[in-house]
């Protein structure tokens, strides 16, 4: 298996780095009470603020993200990349399932939260997408091994404890077709304590190192 690391930042979630793990129940609560904000934590996506403009921004961000994924794969890995069968793992409200479905023959979206999946179904209908299948994680084993040309996940693994995430990743790799491509986002960080300790030490050693002040304010 060949791995290509891509530093990815589309400016969507600058406020979020490695966040604390959320439980499956937490996600169902987000799915039920504030699904769009559960996906992108900008106050414009809270139910109380949600309007046509906010929804437009929400779905446009998904379109842009998917366009970027295709572009990166075509530039860095395979210029004729044209996946027929796509899996979006942790699909939430279908923000990315919809643009994938516009490009591929079929898309499967998997999520842990039944309410998120319900919202994703609603959104697929809203955009007249009928080639998307939305599945609960419990039904993932019903998918045929080696049957996806592209397996994608964004803003998901950072919320899953490592051991569980590793097992899920193994399953996803098993679903990838020969020659298929995985575009999976994992966030990582320098432990903040170590960074801050290092910066503090530098600062103490050299009062003439103004840059270190800014570094000390940096968040991981
Ligand atoms: C921040 S949202 C991102 C949704 C979507 N990927 C997007 O970018 O629009 C994270 C999603 O991952 C789902 N999720 C969390 N843990 C999961 C798990 N173990 N398996 C599948 N989905 C999970 C949540 O229910 C939620 O819908």
- 47-73 pLDDT, tens digit per residue, is 999 999 999 999 999 999 999 999 999
148 lines ligand 1 (CB under 6 A): no
Nearest CA owner, ligand 1 atom 26: 92
Q: Is the CB of 199 under 6 A from ligand 1?
A: no
- Name the DSSP letter for residue 90: S
* pTM confidence score: 0.83
CA 184, CA 165: separation in Å to the nearest integer? 12
Residue-wise pLDDT for 114-138, tens only, equals 999 999 999 999 999 999 999 999 9
- For the domain spanning 24-206, the CATH number is 3.40.50.150
Residue whose CB lies within 8 A of the most ligand 1 atoms, among 92, 95, 168, for a mutation test: 92
Considering only CA atoms, which residue is closest to atom 4 of ligand 1? 92
pLDDT-derived band at 11, boundaries 50, 70, 90: very low
Name the burial class of residue 163, with classes exposed (0-12), middle (13-18) and buried (19+) by CB atoms within 10 angstroms of its CB.
exposed
pLDDT digits (tens, 9 = 90+) for 161-180: 999 999 999 999 999 999 99
pLDDT-derived band at 191 (thresholds 50, 70, 90) equals: low
- Ligand 1 centroid distance, CA of 215 (Å): 32
User: What phi and psi values does residue 29 have, to the nearest 5 degrees?
Assistant: -65, -45
Q: Residue 12: pLDDT above 90?
A: no
State the Rg of the chain over Cα. 19
């Amino acid at each position: 298996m060949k791995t290509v690391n891509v530093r990815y930042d589309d400016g969507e979630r600058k406020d979020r780095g490695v966040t604390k793990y959320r439980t499956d129940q937490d996600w169902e609560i987000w799915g039920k009470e504030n699904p769009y904000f559960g996906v992108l934590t900008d106050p414009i996506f809270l139910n109380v603020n949600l309007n046509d403009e906010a929804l437009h921004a929400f779905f446009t961000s998904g379109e842009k993200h998917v366009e970027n994924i295709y572009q990166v794969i075509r530039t860095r890995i395979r210029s004729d990349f044209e996946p027929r069968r796509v899996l979006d793992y942790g699909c939430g409200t279908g923000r990315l399932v919809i643009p994938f479905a516009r490009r591929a023959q079929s898309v499967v979206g998997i999520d842990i939260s039944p309410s998120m999946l319900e919202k994703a179904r609603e959104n697929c209908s809203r955009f007249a997408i009928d080639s998307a299948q939305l599945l609960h994680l419990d039904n993932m084993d019903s998918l045929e091994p080696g049957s996806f040309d592209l397996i994608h996940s964004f803003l998901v693994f950072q919320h899953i404890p490592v051991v569980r995430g590793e097992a899920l990743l193994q399953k996803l790799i098993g679903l990838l077709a020969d020659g298929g491509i995985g575009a999976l986002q994992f966030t990582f960080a320098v432990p903040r304590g170590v960074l801050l300790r290092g910066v503090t030490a530098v600062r103490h050693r050299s009062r003439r190192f103004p840059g270190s002040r800014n570094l000390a304010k940096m968040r991981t």
